[in-house]
Structures are given as C-alpha cells and as structure tokens.
Amino acid sequence: MVLLVLALQRIINPLTKEMKSLLKLGVLLLTLLSVESTLAQGLIQENSSNNDASTPTSCGSYEYMKHLDEKSEGFLEHSDNFVLNLKKVIKTKQAEKSNNNIYRIPVVFHVVYNNEEENLAESVIQNQLEIMNASFRRTNADAVDTRAEFLPYVGDAKIEFFLAETDPDGMSTDGITRTNSDIAFFGGVLPYTSLQTTEIVQWVNDSLFLNMFRITREDQGGIDPWDPERYLNIWIGDLRIFEPEIGNFEELVYFGLAIPPLDHYNWPEEVTDPLTEFNQGIIMHYVSIAENNPNSYPEPYQAFNSSVSSGKMLVHETGHYLGLRHIWGDGNCSLDDFIDDTPLASTSGLYDCNFSSNTCTDDIDGLDLPNMVENYMDYTSGACQNSFTLGQIDIMREVLEVYKPELAEVILTTEELSGALFISELVLYPNPVNEVLTISTTVNKTTQAQLKIHDSTGRLVLDPAQVTLTYGKNTVSIDVSNLDHGVYYFSITSNQGKVLKTLVKN
C-alpha cells in the first residue's frame, strides 16, 4: 500500500491541474483505506505472516509452541514425539488399565483486573466450571448433536474440575483469587506505526508472550501460581495489546493459551528449559470466560460474540494443558494431531459449523470421515463443539497418570480399593440415599479421619465429621436429608491419603 501511494505521487507532477486533483483524491482514499484496514485487525495481525502471531484471533497455545521452537530448535519435533510415545505407552497398558476411575482436578481461578468489568463475579466462574465438567464428562445437552458417524469414537473423559477448598498453606478458600492490577493490557503496549513492520515483527517475537505471562507473576502485576503440581491455575485478565500509534487500537490476538505438560521423559533439558520461565497453567482473556459473562467483544471482534461466548474456549485450552494438539494438526492434510480417531483436516473450522466440509481423504476403520467440527480441539463455533474422541481421552488421562500424578484426586471403584492407601473396603449404603447414609469401612490401621461430602463443583455441602477409624471394620452414619437431589462425592481423608466415592441423593 505504501509503495503504491508513493508511485502515484510520482505520477502526479507532470499532469494537468484537474488530473492532479483527481489523483490526489485517489491517494487520499488509498491512504484512508490502508488505515481502515489496519484498524480492522491491528498491527500484529496485519503483519502476522512475518511473526509468531496467528490470524485470525485464536487460541495461542500452538503459536506459543512455534515461538519456543524458534528459541530452541527441535521443540516441536520433541513435542510430536511426546504424543507418539504416549500412544505407545497407552497401547501397551491397555489390557491392564481401568478407565472407571474418575480424576477430579482442583482449580484456582486467578482473576486479575484493572477495572470492575474484568473482575468477574463468582457466578460467572461457577458457570464456567459447570461447562468444563459437562464437556469432559459428556453430560452437555448438545452431546445429542454429535453426528452418527462419530458416535463410536467419542466418550466420557471421566475428568472433573472443582474449585480448590484449601490453599497451599492449608487455609480454607473458595478457589478464586482476586488481584487489582495497575496493568491495563497484559498483551503490552506496541509503540510502532503501521510503517514500522520490521520493528513490529521483532517486538512480537521478543515481547508478546513475555508480556502476556506477566499475569502469572506477582512482581510483574499479576499473581504467582499455587503449586502447579497440586492445582490447575487459570489466570483471567485483559490479554489485549494497546496500539497508541493507530488511534489507540486495542488488539486481541489470543483468546487464551495453555502451557503444555512439563518434564517429558523424551525431552532434553535444552528444550524444556524455555518453558520454565513461564508458570504452568492456562491464561484466558476475560471476555472468553463462561456463557453468562456480562462482557462482550467490542468492534471489530463482534462476530466472536456468537461463536466464542459459550465457555468452550477454556475447554479447548484445558485440552492443550492435558497434552492435546489441534485436531487439524496446524497444517495441511500431511500434518496430524497424532490421534488415530480424529479425521485429518487441511485447516481449522474458522469458527464456523460447516458440517459438509471434508478437506482431506482419510481412513478411520475404512471410512473417509468428514471434518469433525464437533471436536473441542478445532477452531469451530461453540454452537457445534460437543465432543472429545476416545483417543484424545486416552492421552489426557495418561498425562494425568504419568506427568501430573499429584494433581488430580482419584475416585476409585470398590474392587480397586484393596491395599489402596489406608482403606481396603469402602461401602456406602443405601446409594442412592434418601435420609441417612451409612458408611462401612475396613482400615489397615487405626487412624484419625475426616468425612466430607462435596457437590459436583467441589463445593463442601456438609460440615466435615471427625472420626476415629479403628483397625478392622467400622460403621458410621450421617444424616443427608437436607441435601438436594443430585450427584455428590463422599471422601475419607487422613494423613495417609484420601479415598472418594460417588453418592447419589434421591
């Protein structure tokens, strides 16, 4: 555009006065169109072909991985090998594995706000948590919309999320921290004009991710994580970039991004070292949270109010956090997400629900399946996202078992209790229960224990009962008549561990 304007200006000089006036008007219109084009997307996306940022506005997880590959060559290759090795481990363990266990992950939402719009209410956080649980347990109402050809390949991940009830110091918490920050834009301030393309590219490659991850550092305007081995940390704030040189434009490049699992046995230190400068967890733009969020995307991002307002963007980022890649492999038909039951695709769904799209020839059980726009790991509208595949579920559960063994609580099935922790038997009856719940336990040694009941969001719904369990068989009764109908989790906790079981209240 700039070269075209200069060329037109050179042509003007030898022309008549009338022709000069017309051409000057043309130059002015072209200049205005150039400015309008830049304002429509921002300087970073305007120059995205030359840097690590993606276009259109997207999840930043893969862009972050590309950024790390630039800094430490080989990162992406080792990331691919990580998933391939996980698949081999899963295959060898398939016969002995039980997929009945339910993993429950304690979550802390760090709300970092510069104004009250960003200080999301507890009801918004609760709504987001409900969406995550419904999505991972496949209890979402729109699960019925999964097309018939994909039904054999989708399932319940048996992964749940609940607000942490104790902080790292052992104090009671509601699982939400709130930090009033002086930083208005965690994406940073881009001090360049549209003509300074080289400087913009360099700024993005050097500064963008460092800026965004300030939200995870107390000394940089955010808040430090809770122990990432024991909590899923989710930071919420304004991830936009402020661009004063083009009319104070506020550019949104990423809805959010997640740090992939660390400490992979097949990753050398020189590859994992770059990850350690950023804290583990997920960072999210505050408008991308929940379905009942009162905030909306402003000009020029209003289209996302219909496609990225369902709370499923955090489901997508949590998939990355648990080891998943984008379903289309971030490339053409020759690239893959390394999951056997997700069909190949040449591109993302571009926040649309095109059910007729089949961009690659594939072979899954002899079938050439269409693009799976239902998958949470695509860039499709939340209106059609409703599924994880069984292969994706295997990866996420293996990551929890192998790479994050201390993160999730495990709800064990009765037959798997033998020799586990301090209990060899735990029976709840009647279950479902109406009024009085009886707990029958057999313990390996006399111990002090705490009995608790939580709802499906992790909220404590019954005052804890302190009991002494003596060696052998014990029976305890609890009045649960005041509980609402629904599914709950009963737990016995001692200094030797914790055992959970599902409880249904009639």
Q: Where are the domains of the chain?
A: 56-411, 422-505
| CATH number of the structural domain 422-505 | 2.60.40.1930
- In which residue are the tokens 């109010």 written? 305
Instruction: State which fold the 56-411 domain adopts.
Output: Collagenase (Catalytic Domain) (3.40.390)
pLDDT at 269: 52
Tokens of 16: 């008549």
Q: What's the rounded Cα separation, in Å, for the pair 69 and 369?
A: 32
Q: Do 56-411 and 422-505 show the same overall fold?
A: no
423 C-beta neighbours (distance < 10 Å), count: 24
Residue 47 corresponds to which amino acid? N
pLDDT at 252: 94
- In which residue are the tokens 């001692």 written? 494
- Mean per-residue pLDDT pooled into runs of 10, the chain (506 residues): 35 45 37 40 66 55 75 73 72 62 93 99 98 97 97 96 92 96 97 93 90 94 94 97 94 89 48 57 96 95 90 96 89 86 90 92 93 95 96 92 83 54 80 92 86 81 86 92 89 77 87
Q: Which 3-state string (H, E, C) describes 218-267?
A: HHHCCCCCCCCCCCEEEEEECCCEEEHHHCCEEECCEEEEECCCCCCCCC
Cα angle value 281/283/289 (rounded, 5°): 120
37 torsion bin: left (phi>0), alpha (psi -120 to 50), beta (else): alpha
Alpha carbon separation from 269 to 264, 266, 274, 307 (Å, rounded)? 10, 10, 9, 39
pLDDT at 53: 41
Q: What's the rounded Cα separation, in Å, for the pair 270 and 21?
A: 61
pLDDT at 487: 84
Q: What's the rounded Cα separation, in Å, for the pair 355 and 137?
A: 24
Cα R_g (the chain), whole angstroms: 26
